[in-house]
Amino acid sequence: DRMEGLTQQLTHVGKIEKPVLAALDPRKPLQETLNLMEPKLKKGKVHVSTNFWGPQVLIEADQNQLAQVFFNLMKNAMEAMSQGGTLEIRSEFVKRDEGQFYEVTFKDSGIGMDEETLTRLFEPFYTARKEKGMGLGLSISRQLVEAQGGKIQVQSALGQGTTMSVVLPVGRS
């Protein structure tokens, strides 16, 4: 399984395919990914709380690429909570001076990250988990989100968990 995962991720490095944009409710790939991850989260003693049932907002995005990003973020959160914990997943429509956005936030109660990890987090092949990680998931996730006009934001401190947000534009032309 690990070799298959590595092979799949290596095929993505350096050649992120252009997203196939279509109007979609981002809660759909979010819920589908959560359903897929639920057995692993339960096995890892991770309690999930969700808040993403507000009004429908359609964005122009690639559903498959978003699902991959959500999967990577949930998987990383789960791995940061090796003894179990809480993962809060929230999504909301946000208006800011620079425009309108749909934001999906993953907040875990895991071990958090030190400053070096935070500065290198999205570098290909960088991983804080030397014995397990390949260091590609977050790098690929950032590329996928940026290819759709969005960004990933991170807040973390050692011992205080991590919050990762996917911010996607709404109504861009």
Question: In degrees, to the nearest 5, what angle opens at C-alpha 121 toward C-alphas 6 and 132?
Answer: 40
Mean pLDDT computed over 96-102: 89
Contact 170, 102 (CB under 8 A): yes
pLDDT at residue 152 is higher than 70: yes
Residue that has been written with the tokens 């990680």 in this structure: 133
Q: Is residue 168 predicted with pLDDT exceeding 90? A: yes
What pLDDT does residue 173 have? 45
Residues 71-90 have a mean pLDDT of: 93
Position 45 scores a pLDDT of 96
Give the residue-averaged pLDDT of 78-97. 92
Rg (CA), the chain: 16
Give the pLDDT band (50/70/90) at residue 96: confident
The residues with which 60 forms a beta bridge, in sequence order, are 23
